[in-house]
Structure 1
Amino acid sequence: MTIDETYTAPFVLAKFKSPNPDAKTIIFYQHYDTVPADNDQPWTDEPFRLTVRKGYMYGRGVDDDKGHITARLTALRKYIREVGDLPVNITFMMEGAEESASTDLEKYLEKYRDDLLPADLLVWEQGNRNSKGQLEITGGNKGIITFDLSVESADVDIHSKFGAVIESASWYLLNAISSMRDDQGRILIDGIYDKVIQPNEREMDLIETYAIENADSLRKIYGLKLPILESDRRDFLKTYYFEPALSIEGISTGYQGQGVKTILPAQAKAKMEMRLVPGLTPEYVLERIKAHLKKKDSTVLR
Structure 2
Amino acid sequence: MNFYQRFVLIWLLCLLIDIINATGRLQPKRVTAEHGSDLSLSCTFQEEDSDKTIVQWLYQNLTDFHSNSRTHKPYWRPLFLNAQSLTPTETRYSIQQKVQQINDSSIAYSTILTLAKVTDSDEGLYMCKSLSPKTIQMAYQQICLLLESLDINPKQVIIPADESGQYSIRLSCILTDHHTGRRHEIHWWHNNKRLGANSNRHARITKNSTQHSFISTLFYTGEPAHIAGSYVCESDPLRKYISVELESNNSTDLIVSSYLFLALGIFFSRLLFL
Whether TM-score is above 0.5 comes out as: no
Larger Rg: 2
Which of structures 1 and 2 has the larger relative contact order (alpha carbons within 8 angstroms, sep 6+)? 1
Q: Quick check: which one's helix share is greater?
A: 1
Structure 1 length as normaliser, TM-score? 0.24
TM-score with structure 2 setting the length? 0.26
